[in-house]
């Protein structure tokens, strides 16, 4: 087949990807968990292949995805690393949630409705749902402000069907020269945790 000027492609070097993962591992150290975010089809680079490469390095502890559909693709590619669904939106399909819980897929949560449906799915899966609380620290995006997050956290900790694995926030200015906003967010995060 002849390719015309309307086509483009990207070539990914497995060796370069592995080298990048190793650099990140050295930066955070061995005691810190490292998540490879492979959402949006690994940013267009192929979610199955990038996830397999990340897992093969034994340097990555988690994979982060945008949706349950992406988590399914990774499990179909036989990657066993823990997966965190970063964007847990409606509609909630019970059969999919039960499947996810049985396949060690965790969810970022910030709404009571999410807790209710995950608790029900966990009951049906006969296994606790793994969750991460999304804390709002100043970005005005998804998440719970610290005051409401405390009440939410109590609900999670009291439920035998919910297993809290982590607390997360979004630090969009972490790479900016001006670290004032980041420091404010980190302070709020640390006070809460």
Q: Which residues of the chain, if any, have pLDDT below 70? A: 1-8
Q: What are all long-range contacts of 21-29, with beta carbons under 8 Å and residues at least 24 apart?
A: 21/54, 21/57, 21/59, 21/60, 22/57, 22/59, 24/59, 25/59
Q: What is the distance between the alpha carbons of residues 18 and 89, in angstroms, rounded to a whole number? A: 32
For residue 8, being part of any structural domain is answered with: no
pLDDT at residue 140, as a whole number: 76
Domain encompassing residue 159: 14-192
Q: What pLDDT score does 6 carry?
A: 67
Q: Tokens 């968990």 identify what position?
A: 33
Examine residue 150 and state whether it is found in any structural domain, yes or no. yes
Query: CATH number, domain at 72?
Result: 3.20.20.10
Number of domains forming the structure of the chain: 1
Q: Does 82 fall in a domain? A: yes
Residue 103 lies in a domain: yes
**Residue 4's pLDDT is what?**
60
Give this prediction's pTM. 0.89
The Cα–Cα gap between 180 and 91 comes to 38
Closest CA to 46 of 10, 81, 80: 10
Residue 2 forms part of a structural domain: no
Per the domain annotation, does 135 fall within a domain? yes
Helix (H, G, I), strand (E, B), or coil: what is residue 15?
helix
């Amino acid at each position: 087949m002849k390719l015309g000027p309307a086509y483009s492609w990207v070539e990914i070097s497995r060796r370069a990807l592995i080298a990048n993962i190793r650099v990140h591992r050295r930066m955070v150290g061995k005691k810190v968990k490292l998540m490879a975010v492979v959402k949006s089809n690994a940013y267009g680079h192929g979610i199955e292949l990038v996830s397999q490469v990340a897992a093969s390095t034994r340097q990555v502890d988690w994979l982060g995805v945008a949706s349950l559909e992406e988590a399914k693709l990774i499990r179909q590619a036989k990657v066993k690393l823990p997966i965190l669904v970063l964007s847990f939106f409606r509609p909630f399909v019970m059969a999919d949630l039960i499947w996810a819980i049985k396949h060690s897929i965790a969810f970022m949560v910030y709404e009571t409705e999410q807790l209710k449906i995950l608790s029900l799915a966990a009951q049906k899966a006969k296994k606790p749902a793994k969750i991460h609380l999304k804390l709002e620290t100043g970005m005005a995006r998804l998440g719970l402000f610290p005051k409401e997050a405390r009440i939410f956290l109590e609900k999670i900790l009291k439920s035998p069907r919910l297993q809290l694995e982590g607390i997360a926030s979004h630090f969009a200015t972490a790479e900016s020269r001006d670290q004032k906003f980041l420091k404010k967010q980190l302070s709020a995060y640390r006070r809460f945790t």
